[in-house]
Amino acid sequence: MKTGKPPLNTIKLLENISLGSAVFAVVLCVLIIVNFIQVRRADPLNSPAMTVLVEKLQNDPSNDQLRQEIRTLDLIARKAFFTAQWQVRTGGYLLFISILVLVSCIKAIELIRSKLPEEPAAKPLMFWETRILKRHWLVYSGIALVVLTLLLAWLTHNDLGKDLRNAGSGERGAGSGERGAGSREQGAGSGERGAGSGERGAGSGEQGAGSGNSATVISDTAVTSHQSPVTSHDSATAFPSWKEVTDNFPSFRGPGGIGVTERTGIPTSWDGKSGKNVKWKTPIPLPGYNSPVIWNDKLFLSGASETKREVYCLDAISGKILWETPVQKIPGSPSQVPGVSKETGLAAPTLTTDGRWVFAIFANGDLIALDMDGRPVWSKNLGLPANHYGHSSSLIMYRDILIVQFDQRNSPAVIGLSAKTGEQVWKTARNVKISWSSPSLINTGKRMELLLAAEPSVTAYDPLTGKELWSIDCISGEVGPSLAYGAGIVFSVNDYSTLSAIQTGISPKVLWENNEFLSDVPSPLASDKYLFLLTSYGTAVCYDALNGTKYWEHDFGNPVYSSPMLAEDRVYILDKKGMTYIIKADKVFSLISQCPLGEGSFCTPAFTNRHIFIRGDKNLYCIGK
C-alpha cells in the first residue's frame, strides 16, 4: 500500500523554498529602500570634493596635478554612479523573481494538497503558514511593501538617469576645460567602461532580438542599378561623381565624413565680435547642433524645438535665408517629444545632400527629403529612437543611396534608402550597443567601404548592398566620436576605452593602441603622416599615424565638442566658447592663430574655397577675406 510521504516531502521542500523566497524578498525590499534614501541624500556626480578642486583649478589653471586629480575623482564618481544604477536594476529583477518563486510554490502546495486524501486528524500548520498565509493584514502589508519597493527602485533608476542627463548643464571648471559632469557620450559610456554596468544590465537585451550581421536586400534590380558607371547629373537615375562630391561639402566633416577638405584659400584670421573677415552673420530661427552642409552656392542646416522642426537653405554668398521648410505631418511621426540631453538637443544630426536633394533627420526619427527649392519629395519616420541622450548620428550618401546609422537600444541597424523615393534598398542588423557616432565613407584604392563604430566593434560594409566586409572588436562604451582615416589606416577612439589604429585591407588588423588620451565627443583627425586627437576637456595630441609615437600634447584650456578639421596642412579646432585654434599639421606643435567667434559653438565648421562657415549658438557665420 502506497503512503502519502513523497507528496508530503515535496510539500515540505516547497514550504522551505517559499520561506526562503519570502525572507530574500524582504531583505531586498529593505536594501532597495535604503539605497533610495541614500541616493536622495547624496548626488554622486556633484560631490563637495569635486567642487573644491574645481575652484582651486580656476585659481590655478596651470596646475596639471590638480587637473589630473579632478579627472581621477570624476572617473571614480562615475563608476560609483553606474554601480548604483546596476544595483537598483538588478535588485528589482531579483525581487520580481523571488516573488514569482514564492507565488509558484504556494500554488504548487495548494495543488498537491487538493489531490491528497483527507486524513482523520489535520496536521498542525507550520508557523510561516499560520502567520503569513492566514493573516490577511500581513499578506496585504507584504504586497504593499513590494509595490512600494518596486516604485522606489524605478524612481531611483529614473532619477539617476535624469541626474546624468542634467549634470552637463552645470559646466565644471569654467575656463579650466574639465568635462561637464554629464556630457552626452561621456556619461553612460564611462560607466560601461569603468564599472562594467551602465546600459549593459543583466538581460537588458539592448542588442535586440535577431540583431546579427545580416543584410536584407529589398530589390536585386535596385542594387544592380547602383553598379552603373553613370556620372552625369542630368539623368533621373544619375548620381554625382566623386569629384563633384569632393568639390563640395555635402556631409558632416566634409566628403566621406573624415574631417579632411581639399578646399584652398582658407582664412586664418577673423574676429566675430569686431566683424574682422566676417562676410555675413545670419540668425538661425530654431536651435540645433548640426553643422552646415554646402552644395555650390547653397548651404543647408536644420533646427528644432519641442513644437517645431525646420530645414533651412541659405545663400552661401549673401547669407540670406532662401527658404525654410517646416517638417510636419510625417507618416508615423510619434506624438511625444523624445527625452534628450542639453548637449544633444532635438536637431543634432547633420544633413546631407547630393546637389539634387537635401536630407534631414531629427531626434524623433522623422526623416525628410527636399528638393533644392525646399519642396518635400518624400518623408517617413524610422521609429522613435530608443536612447537616453537623443539621436545625433549624421546622414551620409553614396551614389544614390542615403545611409542612416540607427544604432538604437532595441534593434540597432544601418539602413540604405533610395534617395529618389525613400524606399529601403537594404538594411543590416548590427550586434552593437547604442552609438552616437556618424558613418564614414573611404576609398581603400580597391573598393569603397562604409565604416561605423559602436561597442564592441569597428565594422566596414559595402555601401551598395549593406553586406559586412570586416569587423574588429576594439571599442567599448556608448560611442560618440566618429572614425578617422589616413594612410590606409582607420582610427577609432572612445573615452575610458582605447585609441586603436586599424590597417584596412583583405585581412584588417590592429596596428597599435594607446589609452593615454581619449575622446568622448570630438572625432579624431588623420593625415597621411599624423593622427590628431582632441579630448572634450581641451587637450590636443599628435601621434605618428603609422606607429603611434606621440609627438606632442597641448592643453587649450577650454572644453571642445566640435571635431577638428584639416585644410591646407592646417588643423582647425573650435572650442565651446567659440575660439578657433589654427595649428600647423606637423609633429612639432605650432599655433598659427586664435580666432574668436563672439559666441559659443558646439558645431564643426564647413569649408569652401576661401571661406569657412561656423554655426554658433544663435547665428551662422561666413568667414572670408
Question: Are the C-beta atoms of residues 490 and 483 closer than 8 Å to each other?
Answer: yes
Distance CA 91, CA 102 (A): 16
- Rounded Cα distance, 359 and 377, in Å: 10
Residue 246 structural domain:
215-624
pLDDT value at position 494? 96
Q: Is the pLDDT of residue 174 over 50?
A: no
In this prediction, residue 41 carries a pLDDT of: 59
> Does one domain contain both 120 and 254?
no
Same domain, 122 and 260: no
Least confident interval from 134-143, 281-290, 501-510 = 134-143
Residue 274 lies in a domain: yes
Domain boundary among 182, 205, 234: 182
Three-state SS at 488: coil
For residue 116, what pLDDT is reported?
62
* Mean pLDDT calculated for residue range 123-144: 52
Q: Cβ(454)–Cβ(404) under 8 Å? A: no
Q: Which residues pair with 216 in a beta bridge?
A: 427
Residue 340 lies in a domain: yes
Residues 242 and 178 in one domain: no
Q: 433 and 549: one domain?
A: yes
Residues 82, 154 within the same domain:
yes
- What does residue 154 show for φ and ψ, rounded to 5 degrees? -65, -45
Name the domain count of the chain: 2
265 and 338 assigned to the same domain: yes
Express as a percent the part of the chain with pLDDT over 90.
58
Q: Are residues 111 and 253 in the same domain?
A: no
CATH number at residue 509: 2.130.10.10
Q: Do residues 260 and 360 share a domain?
A: yes
Q: How far is the C-alpha of 561 from the C-alpha of 605, rounded, in Å?
A: 12
The per-residue pLDDT for range 297-310, each reduced to its tens digit, is: 999 999 999 999 99
Residue with cell 565604416: 451
> How far apart are the C-alpha atoms of 431 and 469, rounded to whole Å?
15
* pLDDT, averaged across the chain: 81
Least confident span in 91-105, 292-306, 370-384, 518-532:
91-105
Q: What is the pLDDT of residue 173?
A: 36
Residue 203, pLDDT score: 36
Each residue of 513-554: pLDDT tens digit? Answer: 999 999 999 999 999 999 999 999 999 999 999 999 999 999
Does one domain contain both 178 and 267?
A: no
Residues facing 489 on adjacent strands: 486, 503
Please say if the pLDDT value at position 616 is more than 80. yes
Asked whether the predicted pLDDT for residue 207 surpasses 60, the reply is no
Last residue of a domain, one of 182, 203, 238: 182
Residue that has been written with the C-alpha cell 537588458 in this structure: 204
Q: What is the DSSP string of 492-534?
A: E--TTS-EEEEE-SSS-EEEEEE-SS--SSSPPEE-SSEEEEE
Give the domain-ending residue among 182, 202, 223.
182
C-alpha cell at 203: 538581460
Any domain includes 269: yes
442 domain residue, yes or no:
yes
Residue 197 domain flag: no
pLDDT at 235 over 50: no
**pLDDT per residue as tens digits for the range 15-66:** 788 788 778 877 877 777 777 676 655 555 556 676 677 667 667 766 767 7
The confidence score (pLDDT) of residue 392 equals: 95
Q: DSSP per residue over 193-232, as a string?
A: HHTS-TT-TTT--TT-TT-SS-EEES-HHHHHHTT-----
pLDDT at 168 over 50: no
- 193 in any annotated domain: no
Nearest-angstrom CA–CA distance, 364 and 332 = 10
Cell numbers found for residue 299: 548651404
Chain segment 180-204, per-residue pLDDT in tens = 333 333 333 333 333 333 333 333 3
Residues 577, 557: Cα–Cα separation, whole Å: 11
Sign, CA dihedral 278-258-373-233, equals: positive
Residues 93 and 50 in one domain: yes
Nearest to 217 by CA among 423, 447, 380, 406: 423
Q: Bridge partners of 271?
A: 276
Half-sphere exposure for 197 (CA within 13 Å, toward CB): 14
pLDDT confidence of residue 46: 57
Q: What is the pLDDT of residue 237?
A: 47
> Is 149 found in the same domain as 224?
no
In 410-497 the beta strands, taken as DSSP E runs, fall at 413-418, 424-429, 440-443, 448-454, 457-461, 468-473, 484-486, 489-492
Domain shared by 120 and 224, yes or no: no
Looking at residue 218, its pLDDT comes to 37
- Cell digits for 226? 547602383
What's residue 63's pLDDT?
72
Report yes or no on 189 lying in a domain: no
Strand-pair partners of 593: 582
Residue 564 in any domain: the answer is: yes
Which residue has cell 574645481?
A: 54
